Structure 1
Amino acid sequence: MNEFTLHDVQCFDAVVRAGGFQAAASALHRSHPAVFAAVARLERQLGLALLDRSGYRVRMTADGRAFHRKAQTLLTEFAGLRAYATQLSMGEESELHVVIGDLCPRPQTLALLSRFFAACPGTRLHLHVEAVAGPLERLLDGDADLIVHRVDKRDPRIESIGLCEVELVPVIAPTLMPERLPKSVKPEHLRELTQCVMRDTARHTPTRDYFVVEGAPQCTVSDQSMKREIILQGLGWGHLPRYLIEDDLRLERLRSLAGRHLPGAREKIVAARRSDRPHGPVAERLWRYLSQNGPDMFADSVSMHR
């Protein structure tokens, strides 16, 4: 068996993933003959038939499947090495973009960022506040280096650090509460009342409604603090983070509507970044800093999630 090259293995992997030579060539930005020749060379050097070309579409042989499975370790290690080399060549970033989501406990989040960036005077922090799907959209669009918000942990493009768990409670001011409201409130009992909801700052992500009562009049706001004030003044009802309204509930300025039909929700707040892109040295230090200090910072005021 002769020595084979990483390039030839990458071409074979691309053919397998893309389902054919032409699609692999497009994915690799190479010509069809170049990819075909690379795979043929790899087979010749290994002394194995990796692909069955007898059908309409190429398929892996048994040897091809075994070799491809083993090759994943090499390809993953190489991708990590390339990302590390990119990081080394970056140098200290002159700026970082961080997005805070609408559900984040802001005092703790801002305190963490303030302490970190005080020790990084050469890196300018660009801080953005987004709501609903806005933070994740900014991250996936490449407009943010890091977000503090809820994410779908099943997305392979994202890695995250658990910070806290926020409870969302449906609440209403006593002055707005109807006289004959059942003990177990259903959404239809509130349809005649104005519902205060967050305005989604996403620009192109499909809108997802959270807790919206169909047919009810709405008041839209851009942040949770304004939402709390509107609900306190009896201008609407809605869901608010418990950490924001603990005193209001205790002093009965607000009443909880939570029950079997309006259960509220618990949202896991994380620090998240792209896992499929390299990160500079300051971004790496920020990631380690949040991992080491983030959960403890939130522990005293909101429920922990590790």
Structure 2
Amino acid sequence: MGRIKSGEETKLALVVDAMFPTPALLSFVRELAQTHPGVELTLEVELLSAVTERLRERKATLGIAGADLDLTGLEQRPIALLSMLPVAAPSHPLARVKGVITEEHLASATQLVLSERLPTGKAGTTDRGVLSPKQWRVADLMTKHALILGGLGWGHEPEHLVREDLSAGRLVQLRLAAWEGGPPPRRPLALVRRKGVPLGPVATWASNRLTDLCQLALSADHHTT
């Protein structure tokens, strides 16, 4: 155990949206272990409003959440804008459509949509980018990704998650009529914390490194396009 400097926290509780780039998260944990070896880390990966709930419940000091959520009682600092690409496996019928995919094509296609794990009575996040009348809801990002790879449906995924699969031909980006007038939907990520709660030295360091590492990871993805 490294020696804790005077005034430093001994624990850091962090909750991160599952869409946060995994390489950035791994780099952060590695740096934390090297820079603050005496700090005990609690790390949770959640989806959508489950991230902000953990902060409001005081189960986490810092969070990475969608800036498009209800952030009542929380402070935010924008850190990134995720491009959400509509994708499907090459074997999927939508991948074989020549030209633009219309509402008629989507009417018979199952869309895989992320669903939140929320207590009874809690309102979930408003659906965005849901275009097919038939939907399967999945409460885990990697399960959704695996189902799309398996040809069992189509869906929107963060660009950084599907970059290698698109390059290798395991996935195909779909040309949807809904996005012909502009880019596919984007999801803003922000660093969030409870209002009026000062951050200690470790949490301040963590907020800066999470921001920098996220932007670096997304920039690296961008340069491979």
Question: TM-score by structure 2 length?
Answer: 0.78
Please give the alpha-carbon distance, in whole angstroms, between the structure 2 residues aligned to 1:124 and 1:154.
29
Q: Pick closer, same or farther for the CA change 1:238–1:107 going to 2, 3 Å.
A: same
Structure 1: runs of 5 or more not aligned: 1-89
In the alignment, is residue 95 of structure 1 matched against residue 11 of structure 2? Answer: yes
Matched, 1:132 2:31: no
Distance 1:123 1:268, change over 3 A: same
| Mapping of residues 30-179 of structure 1, within 5 Å | 91-152=7-68, 155=71, 157-178=73-94
CA separation of 1:297 and 1:152: change in aligned 2, threshold 3 A: same
Which residue is equivalent to 1:3?
A: none
Which of the residues 196, 199, 221 maps onto 2:115? 199
1:270 aligned onto 2:186: no
180 and 134 in structure 1: CA distance in 2 versus 1, 3 angstrom threshold: same
**Residue 162 (structure 2) pairs with residue 242 (structure 1):** no
Match of 1:8 in 2: none
Give the percent of matched residue pairs that are identical in Structure 1 and Structure 2. Answer: 28
The answer (yes or no) to whether the contact 1:112–1:294 under 8 Å persists in 2 is no
Structure of higher RCO (CA pairs closer than 8 Å, 6+ residues apart): 2
- Deviations 1:91-132 (CA, angstroms, capped at 9, x unpaired): 433322111102111111221232024322332110001012
What TM-score results when the alignment is normalised by the length of structure 1?
0.60
Aligned-partner Cα distance in 2 for 1:242–1:98: 24
**Residues 110, 135 of structure 2: 8 Å contact kept:** yes
Matching residue's letter, 1:237 = W
Task: String of CA shifts for 1:14-60, please: whole Å, max 9, x gaps.
Answer: xxxxxxxxxxxxxxxxxxxxxxxxxxxxxxxxxxxxxxxxxxxxxxx
Is 1:186 the equivalent of 2:102? Answer: yes
**Preserved CA contact (<8 Å) 2:112 2:155:** yes
When you count strand as a share of all residues, which structure comes out higher? 2
Q: How many residues align?
A: 213
Q: Does 1:228 align with 2:145?
A: yes
In proportion to residue count, which structure has more helix? 1
Aligned to 1:86: none
Larger Rg: 1
SS in 2 for 1:261: helix
Per the TM alignment, residue 145 of structure 1 is displaced from its structure 2 partner at its CA by 0.8
Do 2:88 and 2:155's aligned partners in 1 also have CA atoms closer than 8 Å? Answer: yes
Please list every run of 5 or more consecutive structure 2 residues that lacks an aligned counterpart in the other structure: 1-5
Q: 1:114 to 1:197 in 2, by over 3 A?
A: same
